[in-house]
Amino acid sequence: ISDPGLVAMEQLATRREECRICGSRQLSRFLDLGLSPLANRFLQQDQLDDEEPRFRLDVFLCADCSLVQLLEIVDPAFLFRDYIYVSGTSDTMRAHFSSFADEVTRRFAFQSDQLVVEVASNDGTFLSNFEGRDLRLLGVEPAVNIAEIATERGIETINEFFSEDVGERIRTEYGPAACILATNVFAHLDDMNGFVRGLLEALDHEGIFIFENSYVRDMLDHLEFDSVYHEHLSYFSVTALSALFARHGMEIFDVQHQPVHGGSLRVFVKRQGASHAVTDAPARFCAEEKDSGLCDFETYEAFATRVYELRSSLVDLLNRLRSEGKRIVAYGSSAKGNTLLNFMEIGSDLVAYLVDKSPLKQGTFSPGMHLPVLPVERLVEDRPDYALILAWNFTDEIVSQQQDYIEAGGRFIVPLPTPHIIPESR
Ligand code: ZN
C-alpha cells in the first residue's frame, strides 16, 4: 500500500468474476501468459526508468456459452488513450478493406443517403472506401489523436467509445443506420451486452451489423497465442456469438471465414424477423465447432501445452543462433509481437532491436522488453543475419518488400506455428 506505483496500477484494472456474455461463473483458466505490460504501450526514452504497469494475462473458457475470454479488465481510458495502431499503414489491410467495402455495397444495395456507421473507425481508412457511393458516413472512434486524423481527411467522427448512449445519440442526430460496421473491435469490449443494446438503438429495423474479428478456431489450429493481449477481451466462436445475439433478439444470418489477421470471421447480424435470408453458414460453423472440440476444456488445455512447447523451441533456436555469433533483430513491432516477446522473455540479449514501418513507433521502445524501434530501412543498412518476423500475418508482404535484405544474405525467422527460416538454406 505504501508503494504509489502499485496503488495506481490496481486502480487501472478490475477483475471480472462472471462471463461477459452469459453471466456464468463456470470459468476455467487454460492459458497463463504471465504478468504482461500493455502490448501497444510503446515507451519514449524518458519513460524507460518509470515503473511500467503490468497486468495478468490469463485466458479462460466459459463452460456455459463457450466464450474464450480474459477476466482482467484494464481501464479502457488508459488502454486506448494514446492508441498507436493506424490501420492505413499496411498494403494488405488497405486491399482487404477495399474488397470488404465492395462486397458490402454490392450485396446490400443501400439506398441513396442511407447512413453507414463504423465503430472504432480508427483513422477512417475503412470508411473512406465507401466515399463516392452516395451514402452518409459516420465514424465512432475513442482515441483522440486518431479521431483527429479521420476528421482531417473528411470522415465525420464522434470521439467516443460506442455504447448504448452513443447508439441513441446516432439515431437522434443522424437518423437510424442502415449498416454498422466494426473490424477488430468487438473483442475489445467488456460490456458486450451493452454494445449490442447500442446497436439496437442505432439500427433501422432492416439495419445490419457486420463485423470482423479473429476466430478462436484459427488461434487453436495455428497456435496463434500471440493474439492474446489485454485489448482482446474475447476470442470468438460462432457458437458463443450466436448465444450473445440471441439474448437480444438478433441473429447471425451469414458468416464467412477470412484469411486476414491470421484467420478472421466476417459476421452478418440482423434483428430476428428482419427480411435478410439466413444462409446455412451459421449452423454449419456451429456444428463444425462442436465436432472439433471448441466447446471442450480439454481442447484448450492441449493448446496451452503446445504454446509452452513453442516457447522452448523458439528460445532454443534464438539462443543457438546467438551462440554461433549471429545477429538477430525483429521485424514489425505489432501488439502480438509484444505478447510473444514478453511471454518468452526475448530481450536485447537475443534481439538487438525492432524495425517497423510506422513513423509513430520509430524512436520508441517496445513495452516490457524495451527494444528500440527503428525504421525498416535499417535492415538493409545494418544487415543483421536474421530478422524474427513478429507481424507474421504479413510475412508474404514483408518478404516480398525485403528482397534487398535477402539478396544481401539476410534471412527471416517465422515464429509460428513451428519456428522456421526463410529462405530455408543458402
Ligand atoms: Zn458464458
Burial zone of 388 (CB within 10 Å; 0-12 exposed, 13-18 middle, 19+ buried): buried
- Confirm if 125 and 137 have CB atoms less than 8 A apart: no
Tell me how far CA of residue 332 lies from CA of 97, 98, 119, 218, 375, in angstroms: 20, 23, 26, 21, 10
Q: How far is the CA of 25 from the centre of ligand 1 (A)?
A: 8
Q: Would you place residue 137 in the very low, low, confident or very high pLDDT band (cuts 50, 70, 90)?
A: very high
**CA 16 to ligand 1 centroid distance, Å:** 12
Question: Whose CA is closest to 347, among 361, 367, 363, 364?
Answer: 367
CA distance linking residue 298 with residue 317, whole number of Å: 29
Average pLDDT, the chain: 92
Q: Any idea which of 11-15, 50-54, 78-82, 350-354 has the lowest mean pLDDT?
A: 78-82
pLDDT tens-digit series, residues 261-291: 678 999 999 999 999 999 999 999 999 999 9
CB 255 within 8 A of CB 266: yes
Mean pLDDT in residue range 214-229: 94
Ligand 1 centroid, distance to 248 Cα (angstroms): 15
In this prediction, residue 89 carries a pLDDT of 60
How many angstroms is it from 176 CA to the middle of ligand 1? 30
Task: Kindly report, residue by residue over 376-414, the tens digit of the pLDDT.
Answer: 999 999 999 999 999 888 899 899 999 999 999 999 999
Convert the pLDDT of each residue in 30-43 to its tens digit. Answer: 999 999 999 989 99
- Kindly give the distance from the C-alpha atom of residue 17 to the centroid of ligand 1, in angstroms, as a whole number: 11
174 CA → ligand 1 middle, Å: 34
Residue 126's nearest CA partner among 113, 140, 143, 112 is 140
Give the lowest-confidence range in 90-99, 267-276, 280-289, 315-324. 90-99
pLDDT above 80 for 86: no
Angle at 300 between CA 298 and CA 306, to 5 degrees: 105
Distance 249 CA to ligand 1 centre (A): 17
Residue 2 has pLDDT above 70, yes or no: no
Tell me the pTM. 0.90
Number of Cα atoms under 13 Å in the Cβ half of residue 11: 8
Compute, in angstroms, the gap from residue 203 CA to the centroid of ligand 1: 25
pLDDT at 10 (0 to 100): 57
Residue 235 CA to ligand 1 centre (angstroms): 12
Q: What percent of the chain has pLDDT over 90?
A: 83
DSSP state of 52: P
Average pLDDT over residues 176-201: 95
Positive or negative CA dihedral for 149, 152, 155, 160?
A: positive
Q: How far is the CA of 32 from the centre of ligand 1 (A)?
A: 20
The reported pLDDT for the residue numbered 394 is 86
Region of residue 383 (left: phi > 0; alpha: psi -120 to 50; beta: else)? left
pLDDT for 5 equals 47
Place of cell 449498416: 179
Whole-number Å distance, alpha carbon 18 to ligand 1 midpoint, is 8
Ligand 1 centroid – CA 312 distance (Å): 33
